[in-house]
Amino acid sequence: MSESEQEFQDRVEKLCEDIFGFLFPSALRTAIRLDVPDHLAKGPRTAAELAELNGANAAYLERVLRYLATRNVFREDEAGRFHMTPEAELFRSDAQPSLRDFALVAAHEVVLGAAARLYDGVVKGKTVFEDVHGVGLFEYMSGNPEFAQSFDKGMSAFSDTENPVIAASYEFPAGATVVDVGGGRGGLLRSVLEQHEGVKGILLDRDHVVAGHMLDVPELAGRWEAVGGDFLESVPAGGDYYVIKHVLHNWSEEDGLRILDACRRAMAEGGRILVVDAVIPRDNAFHPGKTQDLMMMPIVDGQELTKEGFQALFAKAGFKLTRIIDTPSHSSIVEGITE
């Protein structure tokens, strides 16, 4: 076989592997639900030994783990025993941080059911989650608390992997008040307060979310407040910095402007808006934000933006984009001041 023919076969096989890429999140979710990472953390085991621990079918489980090993999640030795890998460590229930809950919600049938209708969304130019489930994502979660809890934990788990480096990428001056708008359990705000002495913080999110916040630690005593509320209506007043991390991209432009307007009306004189999201580059290179943007398309009305998109959005909300700060994560900090 000539080199050109080999290259053609390699290209076909690579494309076929990508076509079947949807199997990876489902296989990973299966292994996590069967607690395979936690079991293997105690030592290598065969699929048969794992099946005895979790009640699975040994032959089927072996096929799943063998596939995951090709993605560096677990490693199979010559004796048929599976081992942990650095990637698999991130899916342990006790990992800090852990991607376990994020992987579980990303491959949940509620999410995959909408993703399978991506074509319809592209043709209609609209989110299809409501077509599949009868209501929008946030209304669906209000009626399905078990999924809502899984969703919130998954998003928090993903955020926890990048919070420290994002907090370290911006200089918050001592004496400033940082308002974390839609900040979930307060992971980012906690990192900000830990890394910037003299800064105070206010966490805002839905009542049931802030009820499980992570700010109540001795070293942060007296420097924080957790507030339940609806950021589409109002946010705590008097802050110097309003941080909106991975929130705007979940909402339509109309609702995004409502959030930004609420922040502009509430902030102290000279205050700044800090939107933490992916800023999509205009090139053909891989960027996690492009994947995230496509993942959200069938589920929520929002989207990831380019630099020009942020400039236009800020201008409509009465802000001027002053700078974009890259961080070691895929997210950037988009800073704005009032016009």
**What's the pLDDT score for residue 150?**
84
CATH number at residue 270: 3.40.50.150
| 149, 180: one domain | no
Binned at pLDDT 50, 70 and 90, residue 2 comes out as low
Mean pLDDT is lowest, of 15-24, 188-197, 239-248, for: 15-24
State the catalytic residues: 249
- Residues 34 and 115 reside in one and the same domain: no
- Residue-wise pLDDT for 93-104, tens only, equals 999 888 999 999
78 lies in the same domain as 133: no
pLDDT in tens, 51-73: 999 999 999 999 999 999 999 99
Of the listed ranges 3-12, 169-178, 186-195, 236-245, the one predicted with least confidence: 3-12
Average pLDDT over every residue of 11-30: 93
Show the 3-state SS of the chain. Answer: CCHHHHHHHHHHHHHHHHHHHHHHHHHHHHHHHCCHHHHHCCCCEEHHHHHHHHCCCHHHHHHHHHHHHCCCCCEECCCCEEECCHHHHCCCCCCCCCCHHHHHHHCCHHHHHHHCCHHHHHHHCCCCHHHHHCCCHHHHHHHCHHHHHHHHHHHHHHHHCCHHHHHHCCCCCCCCEEEEECCCCCHHHHHHHHHCCCCEEEEEECHHHHCCCCCCCHHHCCCEEEEECCCCCCCCCCCCEEEEECCHHHCCHHHHHHHHHHHHHHCCCCCEEEEEECECCCCCCCCHHHHHHHHHCCCCCCCCECHHHHHHHHHHHCEEEEEEEECCCCCEEEEEEEC
- At residue 154 the predicted structure's pLDDT band, cuts being 50, 70 and 90, is confident
| 5-33 mean pLDDT | 92
User: How many domains would you assign to the chain?
Assistant: 3
Q: What is the pLDDT of residue 157?
A: 84
Please indicate, yes or no, whether residues 214 and 69 belong to a single structural domain of this protein: no
Q: Is residue 21 part of a domain?
A: yes
Residues 122 and 224 in one domain: no
The model scores a pTM over 0.85? yes
- The answer to whether position 292 is within a domain reads yes
Does position 1 have pLDDT exceeding 70, yes or no?
no
Specify whether 26 is located in the same domain as 89: yes
